[in-house]
């Protein structure tokens, strides 16, 4: 699955607005190190998500929609120990 650089940046900004920005709707913090989610954290989780899209054939890229965002959030919570505060 190839996702353009522009689309990737827009999606990371979209995820950040929901979970990492100072006025995030559902702010996430790291459960061990107690810091707010960063765009770098999202980039790492997004790479994992891209690998999932290649591996799980029933998963599709929705163009950066809410399902994509929630899947990245799930990766952040289950693999990288973030939690909503």
> What's the CA gap between 67 and 84, in Å, rounded?
18
Among residues 31, 45, 28, the alpha carbon closest in space to that of 81 is found at: 31
Q: What is the pTM of this model?
A: 0.96
Specify the 3-state DSSP secondary structure of 65: coil
| pLDDT tens-place string over residues 22-61 | 999 999 999 999 999 999 999 999 999 999 999 988 999 9
Q: Alpha carbon 16 to chain centroid distance?
A: 8
Domain count, the chain: 1
Decide: 34 and 28 in contact? Cβ < 8 Å. Answer: no
Q: Which domain holds residue 40?
A: 5-84
Summary mean pLDDT of the chain: 96
Helix (H) or strand (E) holding 83: strand 82-84
pLDDT at 1 over 90: no
> What's the CA gap between 24 and 58, in Å, rounded?
30
């Amino acid at each position: 699955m190839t996702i353009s650089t522009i689309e990737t940046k827009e999606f990371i900004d979209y995820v950040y607005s929901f979970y990492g920005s100072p006025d995030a709707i559902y702010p996430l913090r790291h459960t061990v190190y107690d810091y707010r989610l960063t765009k770098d954290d999202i980039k790492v989780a997004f790479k994992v998500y891209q690998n999932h899209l290649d591996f799980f054939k029933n998963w599709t890229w929705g163009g950066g929609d809410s399902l994509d965002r929630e899947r990245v959030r799930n990766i952040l919570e289950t693999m990288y120990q973030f939690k909503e505060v």
